[in-house]
Chains A and B, each alone.
Chain A
Amino acid sequence: MQTSFSLAQLADSDTRESEKILRTCVHCGFCTATCPTYLLLGDELDSPRGRIYLIKDMLENGKKATVEVARHVDRCLSCLSCMSTCPSGVHYMHLVDHARKHIEETLPRPFADRLMRAVLATVLPRPELFRLSLFAARLARVTSPLLAALPFQWAKRTVAMLALAPDTVPMRSPYSEPVTIAAEGPRQGRVAMLRGCAQGVLAPEINEAAVRLLTRHGIEVVFAEGEGCCGALVHHMGKQEASHDQARRNIDAWISEMDGQGLDAILITASGCGTTVKDYGFMFRDDSAYAQKAARVAAITRDVCEYVLTLDVQPPAMPSRLVVAYHSACSMQHGQQIKTTAQGLLRKAGFVVKEVPEGHICCGSAGVYNILQPEIAGRLRERKAANIAKVTPSVVATGNIGCMTQLAGAVGVPVLHTVELLDWASGGPLPRKLTKNALFAQHG
């Protein structure tokens, strides 16, 4: 598309990147068809092409964000389905990140909105605080019926947030502290694993399964001193300073390991975080102190399933033949363009893997989207659950904690992380979520 930025505007690095992206777009409209919000709403403004146009107009004319522009950008899930579809190679992710930052900087949001965002940005990246808040949420849930009756968006958001809190808060994981877990037998490799924030509190069994799977195959795993939230949560709210601070801490932690005992890879067990960590190089491209370090970190970052593929994981002697619906997280298939790896691993591990119809469409989780946009997120969850039901699985497997939380109550079968199943199939214990179920117990 034609663009008209002044030389002064192009002196800004973000604008220069956005201009490049906009020039690649030919406005063909293919992206509209695979955009979840366009599918639901049928309005160009809630499609990638419409958002690109809104953003272009705002940036070219140096305009402050308006309530209208923010509404449509806020409705974007950042699922990046459009990037899988786009034949022209438009880097929508970097464009919408720029727009979110511009909106955050130029649009004063209403008080309730600001408060909700501030709470999420403060609590979620901090595991101890998040843990406490989950207990609080369980108590506060009694207010949900009352809140649901209120005609305010903040009330709907609060109800959505309370509904996401689990009934029981899991025990604190041994991996919530910096620790190194030695390989079983001769060491074949050494990796760092992202401890992360919300996942470690909600589902510590994921990293525990990943550690068992890796160490059993000769890999030493380190949870590095000083790392924490990858920054994605606040990054998607346009809070660049906060996201860069969080990212810098992780970069420091991992560089110190890379330059110390060395790392073969940095493994991420939540694909949403993986998409962001793999983008660290871009995020710090203009930061002379961090550009190189960030690029080094990004270069060895892998989703856990990418790395497991390189290990010699033997198929079980007695395959379980359990029917698994694989739900590919958007950050997995679109963000990281990992399309078939997990499914292949699960098949090799003796599971009967079914692809979910309309698998390219988001389940509505999308970070904190299901809290900030409860109505759209709810419709997408129902749509996803109906599609999953079509393949009548015994369990659902996925690679992202957000999707697991979003789908847990909606699909009627256990929702597990891929590594939990892989660990079980290669000698690990029966996953906790399956132990209460007679059907699975016999497999165990």
Chain B
Amino acid sequence: MTQIAMPQPDPLILAKRERIIAGLKERVPAQWVITEEDERRPYETDALTAYRRLPLAVVLPGSTEEVAAILSFLSREGVKIIPRGAGTSLSGGALPQEDAVVVGVGRLNKVLDVDFTNRTARVQSGITNLAVTTHISPDGFFYAPDPSSQLACTIAGNIAMNSGGAHCLKYGVTTNNILGVRMVLLDGTIVDFGGETFDQPGYDWLSLVIGSEGQFGIVTEATLRILRACEGARPCLLGFDKVEDAGACVAAIIASGIIPVAIEYMDQTAIRICEDFAHAGYPLDVAAMLIVEVEGADAEIDVLLTHIEKVARENGARIVKVSKSEAESAAIWKGRKSAFGATGRIADYLCMDGTIPTGQLPYVLTRIGEIVAHHRLRVANVFHAGDGNLHPLILFNANDVDELERAEQAGNEILELCVEVGGCLTGEHGVGIEKRDLMEKQFTPVDLDQQIRVKLLFDPDWLLNPAKVFPLNLHPLPLGRAA
């Protein structure tokens, strides 16, 4: 069907399915153990729908203790575990296997405690990213990382993938905004990593855990750093007739000494798709557009925007349009944040997630155009230009097998291009299965060997989200079998 191979299911595990289900039902109320084929079906995929594997069962625990009981039981039985947040992964991070149990954290969606004085919020990990900000915004606070899927994606998934978002240019990615986690290890041990402040005694386990793609354990609670929102924020739209000019302008703005909160890039295809959905007033007659947002007091915003306009004009911007109201700003961001989904109005897509040095933007944009054209496909480019995190959307028809294969091939070439120019395979979506087989392009065998040795500390039998991140040929044990 598709290019990325998944391991064969272990017949010994499949044979004891009834026993596994019975064991789960002893540990979690039966209504939260999903076993009927009809009901397992919607859990067979995430937001990378080209890949689908029907899980052996799905379990939705209601507490950290239940997660611990489940993991302890499944690891004893040698059953693979697929952690799942909201299933919004674009890299197949929550793709199940036939001999694996999906452990979803969707029911763990509460805010536990907010401390405005010390600027922390303790939450259950299944809460959505945006729900955290919604909860604290009446008091003027927000949680900074804002992946485009923030409406739906969970803090658990953000931690697994070290997610970023448009505003990470100023505020950093997930790892810069998490103070502590409560995590269940494979054997059911509950551990707390980090704490209430940035500097904690001992090893920095937290940094190791964030971005570990569900391969070290399951995070059930997290302490987040929350921030006081600025007095105000205002985005402006910069329109360019040449994509290269837009790319050069990004580098020029940053080189001029301004770090805006966000610099987002959209090409003409993306602009049209998003404008159609959000009616944000995007310029439709330009080759590329930047959304640049600055924040602070009004006077500060005025100064920064004047300066940015000057830099933009020097770099060939034909249109400079500053948002005039809260409603207009909201529409501008709604359009950008819905770019992936809105693309669904015109085609299926594969969403890439490479990162490059911003100086390489003009070259990479040109090459992406060439690669996609070579495979007789179209592309819509949207990305977090400020930190060089690209999200080219390769458009294709999912009901045409040949087109899917060409789209995957084009995607691989784009990611290889990112590595070639000194960037990396993944900005924020994680490796998952999507970029798994490209890892050897990014890392040397020594690098990968060291990474695997760390992974084995947490999961010696390759039971936690096992077929992800590392190419299957590097797995030291025969897959599907506990040692």
Residues of A within 8 A of B (CB): 1-4, 23-34, 38-39, 41-45, 49-50, 53-54, 57-58, 66, 68-69, 72, 85-90
* Interface residue ranges of B34-53 to A (CB < 8 Å): 34, 36, 38-39, 41-43, 45-47, 49-50
**CB contact between A24 and one of B41, B149, B344 (< 8 Å): that residue:** B344
B343 touches A44 (CB 8 A): no
In Å, the complex CA distance between A45 and B32 comes to 11
In the assembled complex, the Cα of A30 lies from the Cα of B150 at a distance in Å of 9
Q: Number of B residues contacting the other chain (C-beta, 8 Å)?
A: 43
Question: For chain B, what secondary structure do more than half of its interface residues adopt (helix, strand, loop), or is it mixed?
Answer: loop
The proximity string for B residues 329-342 relative to A, scoring 1 for CB distances below 8 Å and 0 otherwise, is 00000000011111
Q: Mark B345-357, 1 if CB is under 8 A from A, else 0.
A: 1001100000000
Residue of B nearest to A3 (CB): B399
Given known pairs A1-B49, A45-B42, the reply for A87 and B277 (CB within 8 Å) is yes
Q: Which of A26, A53, A58, A68 contacts B343 (CB 8 A)?
A: A26
CB-CB under 8 A from B42, the residues of chain A are: 44-45, 49-50, 53-54, 57
Contact B49 A44 (CB under 8 A): no
What chain B residues lie within 8 Å of A53 (beta carbons)?
A: 41-42
The distance in angstroms between the C-alpha atoms of A42 and B277, with both chains bound, is 28
Q: Within 8 Å of chain A (Cβ to Cβ): is B162?
A: no
**Most chain B beta-carbon neighbours within 10 Å: one of A28, A30, A53:** A28
Give the residues in chain A near B340, CB-CB below 8 Å.
26, 28, 87
Q: Is B439's CB within 8 Å of the partner chain A?
A: no
Residues of B within 8 Å of A31, CB to CB, are 152
In the bound complex, residues from chain B placing their C-beta under 8 Å from that of A89 are 277, 344-345
**12 additional contacts, CB 8 Å, given A27-B49, A88-B342?**
A23-B398, A25-B344, A26-B49, A26-B348, A29-B149, A42-B108, A45-B42, A57-B41, A57-B42, A68-B36, A85-B151, A87-B341
The answer to the question of B104 belonging to the interface, with a C-beta cut-off of 8 Å to chain A, is: yes
| A69 near B38: Cβ-Cβ < 8 Å | yes
Choice from B39, B50, B109 contacting A42 with Cβ under 8 Å: B109
Q: How far is the CB of A41 from chain B (nearest CB, A)?
A: 7
B379 interface residue, CB < 8 Å from A? Answer: no
How many A-B residue pairs lie within 8 Å, measured between CB atoms? 121
Q: Is B128 positioned at the interface, with any CB of A under 8 Å from its CB?
A: yes
> B35's closest neighbor in chain A, by CB?
A68
- Give A39 to B104 CA distance when docked, in angstroms: 14
Is A30 within 8 A of B398, CB to CB?
no
Nearest chain B CB to A306 CB, angstrom units: 19
Please state if A86 and B341 are interface contacts (CB–CB under 8 Å). yes
Asked whether, in the complex, the Cβ of A42 is within 8 Å of the Cβ of B151, the reply is no
What are the residues of chain A within 8 A of B38 when measuring CB–CB?
54, 57-58, 66, 68-69
Within the assembled complex, what's the spacing in Å between the Cα atoms of A27 and B88?
A: 8
CB of B107 closer than 8 Å to a CB of A = yes
Chain A residues, CB < 8 A from B271: none
Asked whether A32 lies within 8 Å of B86 as measured between CB atoms, the reply is yes
Shortest CB-to-CB span from A327 to chain B, Å, is 19
Quote the shortest CB–CB distance from A95 to chain B (angstroms): 14
- In whole angstroms, how far apart are the Cα atoms of A435 and B366 in the complex? 71
Contact indicator A54/B152 (Cβ below 8 Å)? no
| Contact present for A88 and B344 (CB under 8 Å) | yes
Write out the residue numbers on chain B whose beta carbons fall within 8 Å of the beta carbon of A44: 42-43, 87, 104, 106
Contact: A87 with B107, CB < 8 Å?
Answer: no
CB-defined A-B contacts under 8 Å, sample of 15: A26-B344, A26-B348, A28-B341, A30-B151, A30-B341, A41-B107, A43-B107, A44-B104, A44-B106, A54-B38, A54-B41, A66-B36, A87-B341, A88-B343, A88-B345
Does B364 belong to the interface (CB within 8 Å)?
Answer: no
Interface contact A28-B107, CB-CB below 8 Å: no
**B180 touches A (CB below 8 Å):** no
CB distance from B143 to the nearest CB of A (A): 15
Q: Which 3 pairs across A and B sit closest by C-beta, in order of nearness?
A: A87-B341, A88-B344, A42-B106
Q: Would B106 and A1 count as touching, CB distance under 8 A?
A: no
Query: Which residue of chain B has its CB nearest to the CB of A31?
Result: B152
